[in-house]
Chains A and B, each alone.
Chain A
């Protein structure tokens, strides 16, 4: 039930993200400093006692134990039911302290054109991002990057290799 609910929310999130927007001329925002959540997070962290830090570490270990890679079907970005537990375990860790941060690295298999595959990797990373946020993780705790087919986990041009390469990796401290 919970799984089905989450899936429904993830899918509706995907649909909502797609509303057309008006054309705008945007100023260049690249040189503006990112939201100062890092400092806020650090302040929260320093106020956390030793015991809490240990508990925090335990949650991270537990999350990593559950898994750090979510695999996807060909040309799809839906999180399959068997990976929902991974999302939940990482959300639990991330929710335990606002200074906990994760990097989501989206990947595709090698088939098709490279920039489209960058788009597919991004879509997958965004699906995991939304799933984490639905479980209470804040935007400031998550960064995403898509590598498309540029950083395969394994080499090879068969379905076994493709299946291992269509993935989102949850990375800490990279």
Chain B
């Protein structure tokens, strides 16, 4: 029965109180451990389609008469367009329409970052459109850019009020400490670099808008377009069958979709608006840089007495203030915590969510400083973490719906024990070491999400739900859940998704929430179908007969099951946990860091597809290694211009940078969370890797790394500082 509840909704660590109609989740969880289909490795059901090039991504959509749009972007970090002359563009061959600032809300004359769109054109070909965009004449009034986050805080140029969070008495906690460590940590701006750039293809079909878009949230795009264009929501149809990644940067409709919609309206033709890789590096979002001034107080036995931090997020011209302070409040049982979080509004491209936004950055600072504490107390870092384990949410005392972090630590032991052997392989110039870091993040998902399951007389089933598969393999996971519940082979299940006109609402693919949100709805729908099939079997006098035999008499009749995601457990905190152990080799003369092995152990409740889960962990670790060692978006300090617009200047890791990755999952269902007991795994694997690597560097060399990426410059600086400390007689970290 449907029930109206007031509940907390969490996306990417942001909470809001909402009224929700939910349906009770009446199913008991499956027994623990691998079942017939669920819990067993399954190759992606759409893998061949993707590999053969048959899968149609937004970038592949070709509609009759389709035009191509291109944007005119501000070359300045801060400028106002005094005038925009579209006429030279309109005079060029193949050009059909052009729009300037104010003609749609997404095009404005005041540009707060380099790459901000001021006008757009469309033409028969992409080359014509780009030539036309270049021909638009803009008279720019160049304004002073502000790119220094600390300066923005001093001037009070913030996106929102500073957030102060405190529990206990921080000052008293510091007084109770036997040892206090503190340090300033910095993380850099990094770019998502999805394989498929941000893009959409839009056409008007009568008074209905059809939108093909590379998105993590078909329903969100639908609602944003409907409200922005003044249309009833059911006049907007959003389609995304396959997408080439998003990592948090494709949660909204994007200016490109509004531009395409307006140009399609003016021309009466379908319009594609696709960002180039260089535009992607300017105006498609980023993980913002942070500055973290952290303090940890502890008693000599390692018990934490105080955690404090001043965090500055260099948010950019827009976006939101991600919870860089989150790990400090969530990871340990410390009674006294105080943090202040500033969101600096700068003349830099707006941030967007990027795979565990805030927690990736905050974990680097906290977990790196924690190992400095361990070194100072001469405590084993693993033991230090165990001693401060939080048995319940330390902020409000709520119990966790499930938490197996201690089991993660136990499984980390054999990897952690390798450090003696790893260190012994050091030479005069190449030092080796092992480091670890813990992970905490959200990932419980929530209602609402819905699914339908259709079973025909051929004994095959179709799952219908208007979710999207961001590329994580959720299509396969949903098929496994339905196959398990129905008791049929995986290859008898198809999944129809990615179209708001063809299926019920399903939540966004962000915040590690897809599987824990939509999976239970799929299981409920399959169970509804199975119940009907069992009733038919009883009426035929063959109770317990196999599904295929029962439905074989149906002819054109179909069994239709429907299911909904039930509520999250009341009064409980739902989080994911894990630990990484990294092994590094550091050339102390040239500053080169090589990651040689990473053991990644995660607790995300029941695992639906161990093969897909291993892929998620490997992908997170690899993306995290890029974040840790080589990736950085650089700005010209004087003008705020982006210097790393191409993939030779912006350095993603290559396959040659990928170490041996050992992934392990605790795989115990969360018995309080839904009919599956599953949490999400998209984000957790990128959270602890930077700190694990930094801590391994300290283990190898005694150097305290303080900023990302750990370039040769940063490493050689840290080594010099460590040598200086040793010369002054202070105890070295190892």
Q: Is the pairing of A and B real?
A: no
Report which A residues bind B (CB closer than 8 A): none
Report which B residues bind A (CB closer than 8 A): none
